[in-house]
Amino acid sequence: MPQPIFAGLSAFPLTPADEAGRVETEGLQRLLKRILDADVQSIGLLGSTGTYMYLSREERRRAIAAAVECVNRKVPIIVGIGALRTDEAQALAQDAAKEGADALLLAPVSYTPLTEEEAFRHFEAVAGATDLPLCIYNNPSTTHFNFSEPLLERLAGLPTIQGVKMPLPKDADFAGEIARLRAVTPVGFMIGYSGDWGAAESLLAGGDAWYSVVAGLFPSQAAALTRAATQGQATEVDYLDKAFAPFWRLFKAHGSLRVVYAAANILGLTDAKPPRPILPLSPDLTPAIEAAIAALEG
């Protein structure tokens, strides 16, 4: 029986682009080939790490086409389709389907804060725009909208919505949160987490997926951590997680997006910079990032 698409390790790469926002497709494919060499269960294209909100519709479509060509159905591609307007998100969903995406990831992007009814109707409309499975992207740190458990229950009843990408719980009670969500969502609804430094703990607690920033650059190491956690090997998880600790500290201090751009530059994978107004990290941090890389690759 095939593994559900919203389960296991999902690696989220950068989307290299020039200063005008034109996607560097060769650079993107270089990052994707690195991911394909590892044991990942999906690729999260155009997520927050993939700077989807900084790219035009046409450039998003070019990125999807380049990814589908490179990946060639070896692993599923989950495409981020967040947009301010519902009709724009529907069009992005349809673009992704036409270009060969396997699944969709939708965040409730907004300027005016959304009510729960507005969020539900937005997701209902976008989920109905294609037949592709859709994962709810609960990312309150960027969208300033946090899904209540009753809203997740309601959304999970829609036929194409099959999973949720959750932030780390503030009380770190993964087991409690997972149990509450399982009690109100259908069998087979996948509950995964982002927030790399807590994801292994979420898998040990019974979470279904790790939506990982770091796996976009270090997929083999992230895959080893995922395997240990899904097999309940707490001692091995603790050992492997120590190698990631320098990155976790950098992510918390400077934001994972800035750090992975700097790390990708140091590794020679791309010379692309974050989209303005986001600025590259100070060169003063280069030794710390090099040390974090050495901890994983040593």
CA separation for the pair 126, 128 (Å, rounded):
5
Burial of 37 (0-12, 13-18, 19+ CB in 10 A): exposed
pLDDT at 226 over 80: yes
Q: Give the pLDDT confidence score for residue 193 in this predicted structure.
A: 98
Structural domain contains residue 1: no
> Residue 192: which CATH number?
3.20.20.70
Q: pLDDT tens digit string along 168-179?
A: 999 999 999 999
Q: Is residue 219 part of a domain?
A: yes
Alpha carbons 16 and 138: distance in angstroms, whole number: 24
Residue 174 lies in a domain: yes
- Per DSSP, the residues of 216-258 read GT-HHHHHHHHHHHHTT-HHHHHHHHHHHHHHHHHHHHH-HHH
Q: Is 2 contained in some domain?
A: no
For residues 146-165, average pLDDT? 98
Percent above pLDDT 70 for the chain:
99
pLDDT at 224 over 90: yes
52 counts as catalytic: no
pLDDT over 90 percentage in the chain:
98
Q: How many domains does the chain have?
A: 1
pLDDT tens digit string along 25-80? 999 999 999 999 999 999 999 999 999 999 999 999 999 999 999 999 999 999 99
Phi-psi region of 254 (alpha: psi -120 to 50; beta: other; left: phi over 0): alpha
Spot the catalytic one: 54, 74, 111, 165: 165
pLDDT, mean of residues 243-265: 98
**φ, ψ for residue 3, nearest 5 deg:** -70, 140
pTM over 0.75: yes
**How many Cα atoms are found within 13 Å in the side-chain-facing hemisphere of 207?**
32
Give the annotated binding-site residues for pyruvate.
49
Q: Average the pLDDT over 239-249 and give the result.
A: 97
Is residue 1 very low, low, confident or very high in pLDDT (cuts 50, 70, 90)? Answer: low
pLDDT tens, 99-110? 999 999 999 999
165 belongs to the catalytic site: yes
The one-letter amino acid at 115: T
Residue 149 confidence (pLDDT) above 90: yes
Q: What is the pLDDT of residues 85-96, one digit of tens each?
A: 999 999 999 999
Mean pLDDT of 119-141: 98
Mark the binding-site residues, compressed into ranges.
Answer: 49
Q: Is the residue at 64 inside a domain? A: yes
**What pLDDT was estimated at residue 298?**
76
Residue 260: inside a domain, yes or no? no
In-domain check, residue 3: no
Average pLDDT score over residue span 180-187:
98
What pLDDT shows up at residue 3?
Answer: 82
Annotated catalytic residue: which of 52, 54, 137, 193? 137
193-221 per-position pLDDT tens digit: 999 999 899 999 999 999 999 999 999 99
CB-CB contact of 132 with 160 (8 Å): yes
CA atoms of 129 and 81, how far apart (whole Å): 12
286: in domain = no
Structural domain range at position 93: 8-241
